[in-house]
Amino acid sequence: MPAFQRWRAARPFWGGLLLTLGGAEILVTQKASLKVVMHIGMQGLAGYLLPALMLICGLLILFNPTQRLFYSISGVLLSLGTWLTSNLGGFFVGLLLGVVGSCLAFGWLPDQEPRRRRSWWRRGRTPATPHSA
Averaged confidence pLDDT in the chain: 83
Alpha carbon distance 82, 21 (integer Å): 14
More confident residue, 63 or 132: 63
Please report, for residues 46, 48, 71, 74, 101, the alpha-carbon distance to residue 78 in angstroms, rounded to integers and kept in the order given: 11, 11, 10, 6, 12
Q: What percent of the chain has pLDDT over 90?
A: 46
Domain boundaries, the chain: 2-107
Judge whether 53 and 45 are in contact, CB under 8 Å: no
Mean pLDDT of 76-105: 90
So what's the pLDDT on residue 113? 73
Alpha carbon distance 100, 80 (integer Å): 11
Q: Where are the beta strands (DSSP E) in the chain?
A: none
